[in-house]
Structure 1
Amino acid sequence: MTTLAAEPLGPPALPDSAADAVYRKVAVRLIPLLFLCYIAAYLDRVNVSFAKLQMQQQLGLSESVYGLGSGIFFIGYFIFEIPSNVMLHKVGAGRWIARIMVTWAILSAAMMFVSSATSFYIVRFLLGVAEAGFFPGIILYLTYWFPAARRGRATSLFLAAIAVAGLIGNPISGWIMHSLSGAAGLQGWQWLFILEALPSLVLGVLAWFWLEDRVKNAQWLTPQERDLIARDIAAEESHKADGSLGRVLSDGKIWLCAFIYFAIVSGLYGVTFWLPTIIKELGIPDPLQVGLIGAVPWAFGIAAMYLMARSADRRHEYRWHTAVSCVASAVGLVISVAFHADALLAMTGLTIAAMGIMSALPIFWSNPTALLGGTAAAMGIAFINSVGNLAGFAIPLIIGVIKDRTHSTDAGLHMLAVLMILGAIAVLILRKPAAR
């Protein structure tokens, strides 16, 4: 079994009372950049939901075409996810994350040249190929720096980028499309793809120089601090499974984790890809107003995510926290459908749904990262994320077909609520929680 080796014993270990300060130092160094990178990644992945408000009519795309084009991103993502994560484990996080970000920035900007359903499908697929490995790579990277008992809050701070991307991205996207439409002969949705690709390009270059691959390379830590972290990580890794892809895939817990994540991601992308459309159907046509209103659910999602992750870490309990979050999101989705004629109540339901989904995400990852170590962690995390993100392909397509046939998203949101309930049941079946 392969484990992460601790540095040779040298300086005496720091007292336990100093551990909190050491891990705060690590978080301050790493989390802000990872946070910004994920905001950029998430915007480039889902800004098509705003572009849809203009490009769908201008290019003559049906709801089904939009759903397939939005989701086909995740086919490329799925195919290249595991190889990408194994490469990150081998060549180092800084270089590989930088490669991912620069290539996806280029392809995201290339969305401005889409002129038909075929070109829409091709560029979205290539964007998924480029981004494959980013998210599971960061989840794996955090296991190099934080033991399980501290990883929940670190992961929640990183994943807060999803909610922040919605909080700031929705108004910015709406403003770009509202204000720049027609500038320099380009449509608002074309400006959207160009401008929102630039941060990814800049952050990718920064990641190359800023992210150390392992603790032993972190010269901004003292020898004592490096030794403390290395000891904690090595002690945790010694209890984890390692091995081949076949061994990972033969573990029933990994498949159960993959299903749970599929359910959570279904809720996430169901809301993300269709929230602007749902708000527009409430009688709010202006993209800027849609963006401002669309920021509300994610603002509440940030607070809920951090508080739930903090509670889970303090109690060393992750299954029930994940399950309760999934149930809350299901309730919110049902409320949004039941009161779709009332804009305030419908948005209240969507806000509750976003709070539950965002709370479930970081807490869920405390389970598989505590079960796997070494190369098995790289493959297992990538596999779970790959299967889970197939929801990003299936859900927009299914909801698009439903909307084409029923002219409503209600049945699609009910389907998401059922999936979230099944996810809650599955996580309770996962007998061994992450914390030890």
Structure 2
Amino acid sequence: MRSLLLEAFVASLLLATSVEAQTPAFQGELLLQTVLNNGKCLTASSNTNGAAVTLQGCTGAAAQKWTFTGTTVTVFGNKCLDVTDGNNSDGTKLQIWTCSANNANQQWQYSVWDNTLKWTNKNKCMDVTGGVQSDGNRIQVWTCSYKNPNQFWNAGYMVNALPAQSQNGQYGTNNCGTGSSQTSKCQTVWINAADDFCLWAPPTPGAIGDTEQIEVAWCTKSGRGTRTIPNGALKGVHFVKTPDYVQVTGVGDFTKINVPKGDSGGELDNRGADGRGNPIGGLVYGNSFGTGQQYHEWTSFISDGEFCFRACVGPKATSLCNHIYDVMGCYWNMPANYNAGTFENCVGDDALPMGVYGTSTWYQGTKPTPAAHPAPASSGCKTLPTVSVSPALRRRESGFERRYEDPAFPGATPAP
């Protein structure tokens, strides 16, 4: 079994040497949702040449189904996303126009690392005009800035129109049906509450570090085409909804869902080392911020005895669901309640972004290692019935916690 440190090294090497992706990781007809509001989608106002491109509520209509075909972005089959008159000025509005080969006005590059759609060779990005989220706001191009949330666009699917597979090379499926099976290959998970969530875990017994690309959904609810977490596996669950994310943490016996005994586990997230995510094709949905909304930024850890899963929305999603600290584990990345014997739903404050200390950022591998942020405040907790609750277990002294028993952190250290 490869160690998590080796996994992290290989991941960083791949990231450093990979060529930036030109299209989203997902395939087929995609929604393009502004990070400002996950319920608003890029929309063509009609299928005629010159039709305005605007922001509208997501419905999954044909006018919102965009296909990436190499360097162009098409809608209605033969219409392309087009910069009006090829004007390179900030504020130029977008339109659709019949696709034509090598038309510079229709050339685009999507980055899976910062979720921007760039007009090729122009240093201009697709931009929500004025950051206004109201229906009908026309979309423009503006000078690219990695700090401008008006330029961040998530690619994904309506939950009622999932493809059989969202990525090439995917082990399982996303359109999972309404049954349940302990041999399911479903790779669509949900996070809604302490008694309604899923975990990523191996389809057959195997270490997380060796199976991360093929993990499948194990859930507390039947009827979504997934596997179900066996009774008695969960020993404690704490769910919290904050202004910008949902999170579920807890402890249990996860040998019951194919994690080998003694496995200190690893991280699963929406990008992975190559931008495709771990597992490849894994999708996350929930109802906390709107019915059936897709979470585009998420991070999760699981070992043989503990788990944590956070799914984020909004402009702060990439910092609150950061996944570059892949050997630091649950307690460091997501400080929260991990007590056995308690099952509860709470509301809470946002955590501080992992790795950020004041105006400085700590980078994994730099010594000394900082202490975890304190767990954020939560309130209004409602305890679930204590069905199959086991006696309280003390916090584990192995696995994730071992990795950051370093000297006290005196201040952030610059990246090497």
Question: TM-score, length-normalised on structure 2?
Answer: 0.29
Q: More relative contact order in 1 or in 2 (CA 8 Å, sep 6+)?
A: 1
Question: TM-score, length-normalised on structure 1?
Answer: 0.28
* Structure that is richer in helix per residue: 1
